[in-house]
Amino acid sequence: MSTSAQTDALPPGEPGPRDGGPTGTGASPGHRASRAALLGAMFLMATSSIGPGFITQTTQFTVQLGAAFAFAILVSIVLDIALQLNVWRVIGVSGRRAQELANDVAPGLGWVLAGLLLVGGVVFNIGNVAGAGIGTEALAGIDPRWGAALSAVLAIGIFLSRWAGWAMDRVVVVLGALMLALTLYVAIVSDPPLASAARNTIAPEIIEPLAITTLVGGTIGGYIIYAGAHRLIDAGHTGPDQVAAISRTSVLAIIVTGVMRTLLFLAILGVVVSGADLTGTSQAASAFQAAAGDVGLRLFGAVFWAAAISSVVGCSYTTVSFLTSSTRTPARTRNLLTGGFIGLSLVLFLVLGKAPTTLLVFAGAFNGILLPVGIGVMLYVGWFRRDLLHGYDYPKWLLVIGSIAWLLTLYLAVTSVRPLIDLMTS
């Protein structure tokens, strides 16, 4: 299946330019819909990655490693590209979702993947909803529980809309651009030592393997690596003739996350070098406030809220995509299930009152286990199941690079098992 078979890059039930959906001017409607879907898939993956954990994680490592953190960012970006290129290409060329491919490789394996992702997705979405509440509190002084509720209602509204796919593609682009712009401003105001950061990118003063593996897991772990790829399937961008667009979009998505992480790193680094005290309840909030005063705190709220709400959208969409079929499940049903998943996450957050640290660590352990299993299946299909790729001649050099990078995810899984065992026995 390719765009020649599905001209409008929107799933059935989600109107595009030819059947009553929104249109623009200039290029042909089909071309605009296709371009919007690719851009939406790119930002869906990127904004799914840039969540509350992404911001907290980047801040902590910057405080710990200083300018040397630049090296970990560079290495993680290279590894992320190697892995995502392979995963998106296999899914895109085959036109089948990850769990469907896994079931083709070994019956039942796809449902194991879906089960692991569902557990991690629910827990992480509680954290994302909580993050939206924290963001609204810093931005406008709204009680976190009310802020989380209003944000969840907004996210549910996206999927209940008649133009859910169209709306999601554009919302994630706007939120992604907002986060980049606001963080760039704070990075400029904080006046980071650019020369030191550039030098440490190539010749780091400290090399911390844990930082690298954590960044890889945080960028493409769990559901994140599949978010944009599954969106491309729903948008009709599948088949061997779509390889160039799929590959370009997968790389650009990682670059967007890398740019955001770099800007956030520079913003925090400037504050750390200045000697500001970041011992508050949120190091990231303290850093933004130290860089730009009360305005900085409001900007932190906006960035944190945008990161949280876009991750709610991405996590919910991708989790439900693992539990449904791209061909047998009507788009309206998928959208309703996605809205229900967001509602469930909100209720659990309101009942618990917060995103418990134990649950987040538990979900992180599952992410580490899920990552190498899912990527291993995709690489297996690339190496040995040409029949699932419609006869596509998969580049061996790309599989070799992906397989080398995959070994790192195995290490990530090993480091995740111990926290999981501790949690289960504590």
| Domains observed in the chain | 36-425 (1.20.1740.10)
Q: Read off the tokens for 301.
A: 């709220």
Amino acid 113 reads: L
Amino acid 270 reads: G
- Cβ burial of 418 (10 Å; 0-12, 13-18, 19+) is exposed
Question: Can you state the angle between helices 98-105 and 357-384, rounded to 10 degrees?
Answer: 60
- Per-residue pLDDT tens listing for the chain (426 residues): 443 333 333 333 344 433 334 434 344 555 666 777 788 888 889 888 888 888 888 888 898 899 999 999 999 899 999 999 999 999 999 999 999 999 999 999 999 889 888 888 888 898 889 889 989 998 989 898 999 999 999 999 988 887 877 788 788 888 889 999 999 999 999 999 999 999 999 999 988 877 887 788 778 877 889 999 998 998 888 899 989 999 999 999 999 999 999 999 999 999 999 887 777 667 888 888 888 888 988 999 999 999 999 999 989 999 999 988 777 888 888 889 999 999 999 999 898 876 655 565 566 666 666 778 889 999 999 999 989 998 899 999 999 999 998 888 787 667 656 655 665 566
**Count of positions (residues) in the chain:** 426
Quickly list DSSP for 186-219. HHHHH---HHHHHHHHHS-S---HHHHHHHHHHH
Q: 336 near 160, Cβ under 8 Å?
A: yes
Q: Read off the tokens for 354.
A: 């917060």
**Considering the entire predicted model, what is its pTM?**
0.83
Q: How far apart are CA 357 and CA 349, in angstroms?
A: 13
Q: 134 near 52, Cβ under 8 Å?
A: yes
